[in-house]
């Protein structure tokens, strides 16, 4: 009897856990390590391999990270949000967690994995912007063990589309993406035939997506369809007006 009740209780708890994790949108905790960069100069973290040209102006602030090859996934991780906690190091860890956005790549180094080659494959590593690192560990630690999990990105306002490139190579930087945050597919649509249909864009680097030889899109209102790594798609119609300009940013809908 007692064990039957325990089993029912266990099943109920398991069902609740199953229901809870998709609801909170957080992934499972995984082990990794963290270091920091940009301690002397905040400009070191201002740009990066994800293509953001100013993470401060673009709303990511100091809570950013460069990811090792194993996590960066050739730029597919860009824009994703990670909750990180320093663990199992009572000397150097501070309590609490931070949430950072992947904005940069931490490249492999010609050094041993345990001595400077922290970002070498297959290591899971976060090279945190210095102010972010200081929230979870003491400066002198240098490198600390952490646990991390994917969490939904919280944003205000719509997805932002910053036009880049030129008439032969129309590109767009996609930022301020809520939810999964990391974009897996982008399509663009003009208003006049033959470009009044969805045209798939290619990932150029990080969150910069591009199409070639579609110069007729210049002078047409643009719509964008953005799909994130959780499989959700948001369509923003006529986000950019017909007189859109390279270098300008337009705001669409949000996840």
Ligand X SMILES: *[C@@H]1O[C@H](CO)[C@@H](O)[C@H](O)[C@H]1NC(C)=O
Q: Report the interface residues with ligand X, using CB under 6 A.
A: 41-43, 56, 61-62, 131
Closest approach of ligand X to the CB of residue 43, in Å: 4
Element (H, E) at 37: strand 30-37
Closest approach of ligand X to the CB of residue 173, in Å: 17
User: What SS3 string covers 210-223?
Assistant: EEECCHHHCCCCEE
Closest approach of ligand X to the CB of residue 12, in Å: 43
Q: Which is nearer to ligand X, 45 or 69 (CB)?
A: 45
Q: Which is nearer to ligand X, 56 or 92 (CB)?
A: 56
Element (H, E) at 13: helix 2-24
> What is the strand order of the sheet 183-189 is part of?
233-240, 222-228, 183-189, 199-205, 208-212, 169-175, 160-166, 249-251
Closest approach of ligand X to the CB of residue 128, in Å: 12
Q: Which is nearer to ligand X, 41 or 200 (CB)?
A: 41
Element (H, E) at 15: helix 2-24
Q: Which is nearer to ligand X, 45 or 68 (CB)?
A: 45
């Amino acid at each position: 009897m007692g064990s039957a009740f325990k089993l029912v209780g266990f099943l109920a708890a398991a069902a609740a856990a199953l229901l809870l994790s998709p609801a909170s949108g957080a992934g499972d905790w995984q082990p990794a390590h963290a270091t920091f960069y940009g301690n002397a100069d905040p400009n070191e973290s201002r740009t990066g391999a994800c293509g953001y040209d100013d993470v401060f102006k673009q709303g990511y602030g100091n809570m950013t990270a460069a990811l090792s090859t194993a996590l960066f996934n050739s730029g597919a991780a860009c824009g994703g949000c990670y909750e990180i906690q320093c663990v199992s190091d009572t000397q150097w860890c501070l309590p609490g967690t931070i949430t950072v956005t992947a904005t940069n790549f931490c490249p492999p180094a010609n050094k041993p994995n345990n001595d400077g080659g922290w970002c070498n494959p297959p290591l899971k590593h976060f090279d945190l912007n210095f102010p972010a690192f200081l929230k979870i560990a003491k400066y002198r630690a240098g490198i600390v063990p952490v646990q991390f999990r994917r969490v939904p990105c919280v944003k205000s306002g719509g997805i932002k589309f910053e036009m880049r490139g030129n008439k032969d190579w129309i590109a767009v930087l996609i930022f301020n993406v809520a939810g999964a945050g990391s974009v897996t597919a982008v399509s663009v649509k003009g208003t006049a035939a033959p470009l009044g249909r969805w045209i798939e864009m290619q990932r150029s680097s990080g969150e910069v997506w591009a199409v070639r030889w579609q110069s007729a899109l210049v002078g047409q209102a643009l719509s964008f369809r953005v799909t994130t790594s959780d499989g959700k798609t948001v369509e923003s119609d006529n986000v950019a007006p017909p007189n859109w300009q390279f270098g300008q940013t337009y705001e669409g809908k949000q996840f």
